[in-house]
Structure 1
Amino acid sequence: MKLPDRFFATLIGRPDELLRTVRFVATMAVTAALSGCASFSPDGGMNVAAGIASQELEKDTVAIRTLENATSARARVEHLLKRPLTADTAVQIALLNNRGLQAAYNELGIAEAAMVQASLPPNPRFSFSRIEGSQSVIEAAIADDILALATLPARAEIAADQFRAAQLAAAEETLRVAADTRRNYYRAVAARELGGFLTQANSAAETAAKLATRLGETGAMNKLDQARDQLFYADLTAQVASARQLTASERERLIESLGLWGRDLDFTLANALPALPTRPRALPTVEQDAISRRVDLEIARIELEALAKSYGLTNATRFVNLFQLSGIYNHTRESVGAGIDVFRAFGPGATVEIPIFDFGAVRVRQAEQIYMQALNRLAEKAVNVRSEARDAYHVYRSAYDIARHYQREILPLNTIISDESLLRYNAGLVDVFTLLVGARQRILATIAAIEAKRDFWIAKTGLQVAIIGGGGMRPTDEKSKTGAITGAGADGQ
């Protein structure tokens, strides 16, 4: 005897008729399950994020879900940390080691589980009751939600769209982590370059201050010029201290993006930012590129499609919220004189919600407004994406022109002024004040040149974000933090 037959036989005898009804309901459930049931993907839905990372970033990313995944990722991170970090290697380390990104991939796994669950038919409900008294009554029923079974394919399709949106959301988080890592890398290297330059300048100023002190002791330099030399040195000393603090802070921000700790913190950064490219990129179709490639825009499109299907499903089921089909068996034993009469009754049952007060208009209106809300937000996002792409390209070109101007014009001119001032000072044609003013101007120009080069590389990252996604702010909203090191001596006399 099969398990269901044995179960019912133990409880109430041999209810063949009920079993036939149960098998009918179960057959409907199995048929619906076979037609609409989804299964877990081998890679946990990571193909979209991994594909976008490979195509747009030329990097690898993986969801660490097994010991083998963790061991492989750890080995790659250790190998990359052995060499001085570049922006590309920093991004690759972050994609393998950033725990926040792994949490986003866990969210993708949760979304896949929700999709599979939505594709499963509802479990049938079994009820059993037994009443003892002058007569013994046993009643059993098994019911299934026929409406849920009928709408299972549509609900499974909606869940699949939502999972697709979750895949793109994981890809967008991958792009965001990569972009943040690049920005933090350029800031950290710029702070390191700036600190190195100021340290060298401070060393030269210290030598000059000591020389001024000795000259003052011999009477070859007056107290005013000595004080100016000492002030210049003291000012640079303060700037060096600020630069060191900034270097440490920017390095920590990079460490957060890389997800490093312990002995991994001893990695080496480059001493200077990369050189500017020969010419900037020309992107006449930057708006179209952003519209076709922005991941967040594609997420909004898919969510809108899912809402449209959900709206159609709500409209189709507006009059019926509940429709259950059940099989019922009633077994009654009654004592009559010296004998026992047994009565058996069976038959189908149905439960339908009667729309007396709510004809579904409220649900339909709500679904319609939710859909229109998403439609308007998608239209707004499309407009914003175009604007962000244009703005990012303008910032990119401006940052390139400014950084190039410092390299081609301002720094060479300051070098000429400094050299000529030194020649005139040695010839006794100018005093210390003129020499120090030229030195201050040269230091400020070099600081500005380093910051301009940093801003260019950050703007380049912002342009990529504006085209493919992964950012939460406009390029013009990004605040520069390195520019605070200009020192009190900028205007000091």
Structure 2
Amino acid sequence: MALIIVARSTVRRAPPRKRLAAISVVAVGLSGCVTFTPDGGMSPVSREVSAAIGKDTVKIASPADAVDVRARVSTLLAKPLTADGAVQLALINNRGLQAEYNSLGISEAAFVEASLPPNPVIGVERLATGGSLEIERRVIANILALITLPARSDIAKTQFEAARQRAIEATFRAAADARRAYYRAVASRQTVSFLEQARISADAAADLTRKLGETGAVKKLDQARAAAFYAEVSTELAEARMNASTDREALTRMLGLWGADLAYKLPGQLPSMPRIQTVQQVEVEAVRKRVDLIAARLELDAMAKTLGLTEATRFVSMLDGGWRGNYERVTADGLQESASPQGFELELQIPIFDLGEVNVRRSREIYMQAVNRLLEKSVNVRSEARSAYLTYRASYDIARQYQNSILPLRRTINEQALLEYNGMLIDVFELLTTAQESIDSNIAAITAKRDFFISTVDFETSIIGGGGSSAGASEGPVVTAAAEGGGH
């Protein structure tokens, strides 16, 4: 519904300026006192992230911020990178995460915009016909938008809160992805180091076998086996180096590094395994803390408010009102005559075909769609938490089994095989087979340890959210920042 004030030239009663002032006073009374926050809504995000994972978040909004971040990046890269250092680096230097923070700022702008009354429209029309000159001035204000201003502002506020939760979720996701990438890169580097040592041993064995073959002490078959073993280890090393390079690049992307920063240092092996965590109520903690669930609930609240607004204005939106005044000046004989007829213009749309039921039905279906998706997500969150915890416990047991049992046994087997070979109790084939099995077990142990650290990340993020593609994907329709004030 729009209020249209039309005046042709000057009208004696309440001039358009006074009427416009009156409209402005009403608008100010209906509007709230919403203003922009100094940091674009980042303070709650920073507090939540700091409390949950103990890391800082920074929104780069000025050249001074960029300089500060550059200094922190240099400090973090001055020494070999740790897992915590990689996470902190990603949270301040990853530009994709900065884009998520910009989305939060956009949502805040939509909130502030929704809390402001609509600007009145002023139009001027000049018509000259023969000796007559007619001037028409219009002041148009959207009365329906003014009436629904508090409701629309409340909806936008809820959406802004949901956007904050999405920003927190994006931060958790970036932290988890950076930590996973770090463990993969370090594990790949450790695998390369182990295979380099294994190739040195295989090269020495192949060389010794070849020299013994020249004296006739070793058969040609054993020489071929030793040479093949060296070639196979060399191939495994080449593949491991390729994986190490790609894993390092994945980490580099997460950290947002380029140029001279690409020479950052990683440790040679994974850290020692920590004690396992014990959580009694995994599902309850996940449902209570998951930021994606919190955001989905807030978006559902905003959608419910939008549905209520649509039902409340379904008939009012069909009404258009206006005020009109005219002034005509006749200049044929040099004299002026004025007349100021006053009146109120009212237009009413006759609801023959659509009583507003279309918007109401659409809103209800969208709302119920969001409800069902939220319920589905809550079920999935419980399952994801249970699954992550089971994987975490199992991967811990597997890694411990390699560390405490399999690798010590492999060392014993290698020592005994070498003794028996020196005593001519076994041939080269058995010795090389034992060596290959030992290499496989050591690589599997590194992989198991890497998988445990990654499962730790998965388990922790299954509780707080934002840990992966399933937790980070947005689901359901997003309500517009300012709900429509009406429709036909």
TM-score by length of 1: 0.90
Aligned counterpart for 1:252 among listed residues 246, 249, 253: 249
Q: What CA deviation, in whole Å up to 9, does each residue of 1:304-345 have, x standing for no partner?
A: 000010011011111121555544321012468785432123
Q: Residue 392 of structure 1 contacts residue 459 of structure 1 at CA under 8 Å; is this kept in 2?
A: yes
Distance 1:227 1:132 in 2: 107
| Cα distance in 2, alignment partners of residues 221 and 230 from structure 1 | 13
Shift of 1:128: 2.6
CA deviation map 1:426-476 (0-9, x unaligned) = 11111111111111111110010000000000000000111111133469x
**Corresponding residue for residue 464 of structure 2:** 468
Return the letter of the residue paired with 1:264: D
Q: Post-superposition shift, 1:48?
A: 2.8
Query: 2:122, 2:139 within 8 Å by CA — same for their partners in 1?
Result: yes
Aligned-partner residue type, residue 139 of structure 2? I
Residue 43 (str. 1) matches residue 56 (str. 2)? no
- Stretch of structure 1 that moved more, 314-323 or 340-349: 340-349
- Residue matched to 1:26: 24
* CA distance in 2: counterparts of 1:21 and 1:350, whole angstroms: 18
- Secondary structure in structure 1 of the residue aligned to 2:15: helix
Match status 1:333 vs 2:322 = no
- Tell me, in whole angstroms, the C-alpha distance in 2 between the residues paired with 1:126 and 1:473: 50
* Two-structure CA RMSD over aligned residues (Å): 2.0
What displacement does 1:12 show? 2.8
Matches within 5 A, 1:36-115: 36-115=32-111
Task: Tell me, in whole angstroms, the C-alpha distance in 1 between the residues paired with 2:168 and 2:366.
Answer: 26
Matched with 2:118 is: 122
- For 1:434, the aligned partner's letter is E
Q: Does 1:275 align with 2:277?
A: no
Which of 144, 148, 167 matches 2:145? 148
Matches within 5 A, 1:449-460: 449-460=445-456
2:81 partner SS: coil
Task: Classify 1:454/1:337 alpha carbon distance in 2 versus 1 (closer, same or farther; 3 Å).
Answer: closer
Matched letter for residue 147 of structure 2: A
* Aligned residue in 2 for 1:291: 287
Matches of 2:136 and 2:469 in 1, distance apart? 64
User: Whole-Å Cα distance in 1 between the matches of residues 47 and 384 of structure 2?
Assistant: 24
CA contact (8 A) 1:425 1:432 kept: yes
Determine the C-alpha separation between the residues in 1 that align with 2:332 and 2:224.
Answer: 124
Query: Which residue is equivalent to 1:421?
Result: 417
Are positions 1:395 and 2:363 aligned together? no
Which residue identity is paired with 2:23? V
The share of aligned pairs that are identical, in percent, is 49
Partner of 1:137: 134
Letter in 2 for 1:446: N
Give the structure 1 partner of residue 217 of structure 2.
220
How many angstroms apart in 2 are the aligned matches of 1:267 and 1:472? 26
Q: How many residues are aligned here?
A: 464
| Uncovered stretches (5+) of structure 2, i.e. residues with no partner | 1-5, 472-488
Q: Who is 2:226 aligned against? A: 229
Taking the aligned partners of 1:446 and 1:283, their CA distance within structure 2 comes to 31
SS in 2 for 1:12: coil
Quote the Cα distance in structure 1 between the aligned partners of 2:108 and 2:226: 68
Aligned-residue offset at 1:347: 4.3
Mapped to 2, the partners of 1:249 and 1:398 lie a distance apart of 28
Shift of 1:25: 2.1
Following superposition, the deviation at residue 346 of structure 1 comes to 3.4
Q: In the alignment, which residue of structure 2 is the partner of 1:410?
A: 406
Whether the 8 Å contact between 1:407 and 1:449 is mirrored in structure 2 is yes
Q: Match of 1:369?
A: 365
Which residue in 2 is equivalent to 1:441? 437
- Counterpart of 1:197? 194
SS at match of 2:339: strand
Equivalent AA in structure 2 for residue 380 of structure 1 = E
- Per-residue deviation, 1:52: 2.2
Cα offset, 1:129, TM superposition: 2.5
CA deviation profile, 1:273-329 (whole Å, cap 9, x unmatched) = 11112x311112110110001011001100000001001101111112155554432
Please give the alpha-carbon distance, in whole angstroms, between the structure 1 residues aligned to 2:264 and 2:135. Answer: 75
CA distance in 1, matches of 2:465, 2:70: 28
Is the alpha carbon distance of 1:322 and 1:146 closer, same or farther for their aligned partners in structure 2, counting shifts above 3 Å? Answer: farther
* Structure 1 residue 21 displacement after superposition: 3.0
Once residues 353 and 69 of structure 1 are traced to their aligned partners in structure 2, the CA distance between those partners, rounded to angstroms, is: 55
Partner of 2:376: 380
Please report how far the alpha carbon of residue 131 of structure 1 lies from its aligned counterpart in structure 2 after TM superposition.
Answer: 2.7
TM-score by length of structure 2 reads 0.91
The Cα of 1:124 is off from its aligned counterpart by 1.2
**Contact 2:107-2:163 at 8 Å conserved across structures:** yes
Residue 22 of structure 1 aligns with an amino acid whose one-letter code is L
Aligned to 1:220, what secondary structure does the other structure show?
coil
C-alpha distance in structure 1 between counterparts of 2:61 and 2:335, whole Å? 67
- 1:303 equivalent in alignment to 2:299: yes
SS where residue 302 of structure 1 aligns?
helix
Aligned with 1:342 (options 338, 343, 355):
338
Comparing 344-353 with 313-322, which one deviates more in the overlay?
A: 344-353
Distance in structure 1 (CA, Å) of the matches to 2:200 and 2:122: 86
CA distance in structure 1 between the aligned counterparts of 2:90 and 2:240, rounded to whole angstroms: 26
List gaps (5 residues or longer) in structure 1.
1-7, 476-493
Answer whether contact 2:9 2:326 (CA < 8 A) is retained: no
Q: Which amino acid aligns with 2:277?
A: R
Aligned residue number for residue 4 of structure 1: none
Pick 1 or 2: higher relative contact order, CA cutoff 8 A, min separation 6: 2
Q: Does 1:185 align with 2:198?
A: no
Q: Relative to structure 1, is the Cα distance of residues 31 and 376 closer, same or farther in structure 2, using a 3 angstrom cutoff?
A: same
Task: Give the direction of change, closer, same or farther, for the CA distance of 1:32–1:366 in structure 2 (3 Å limit).
Answer: same
Q: In the TM superposition, what is the alpha-carbon distance from 1:31 to its structure 2 partner?
A: 2.0
Out of 163, 168, 180, the residue aligned to residue 165 of structure 2 is 168
Contact 2:9–2:328, Cα closer than 8 Å, also in 1: no
Deviation at 1:400, TM superposition (A): 0.3
Instruction: Give the conservation status (yes or no) of the 8 Å contact 2:461–2:467.
Output: yes
